[in-house]
């Protein structure tokens, strides 16, 4: 989906569902959201937020950004890996 399609899909959900509202609700800078949908910036958290709102997968919304489709691990998983590697 390009930026216009993303914005239209948000409006189709609700006319007041804008990037500004999403940015305020999620604590993400509006500029970050805008840059992500225009592909000027790679921001996985912002992209995944948009996908969740749209009810679509990252491959459907951002097929040209393969890194968004890679699953995100938890902080706890990362900490466990770090502890294991540092203790070896």
* Per-residue three-class SS string for the chain: CCHHHHHHHHHHHCCCCCHHHHHHHHCCCHHHHHHHHCCCCCCHHHHHHHHHHHCCCHHHHCCCCHHHHCCCCCHHHHHHHHHHHHHC
Task: Go through the domains of the chain in sequence order and give each one's CATH number.
Answer: 3-87 (1.10.260)
Region 29-54: mean pLDDT is 95
pLDDT band at 21 (very low <50, low <70, confident <90, very high): very high
Selected residue with higher pLDDT from 69 and 57: 57
pLDDT higher than 90, residue 69: no
pLDDT value at residue 75: 77
């Amino acid at each position: 989906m390009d930026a216009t399609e993303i914005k239209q899909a948000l409006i189709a959900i609700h006319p007041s569902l804008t990037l500004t509202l999403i940015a305020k609700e999620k604590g993400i800078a509006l500029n970050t959201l805008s840059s992500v949908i225009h592909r000027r910036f790679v921001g996985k958290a912002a992209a995944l937020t948009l996908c969740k709102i749209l009810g679509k997968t990252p491959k459907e919304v951002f097929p040209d950004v393969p890194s968004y489709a890679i699953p995100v691990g938890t902080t706890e998983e990362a900490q466990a890996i770090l502890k294991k590697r540092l203790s070896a």
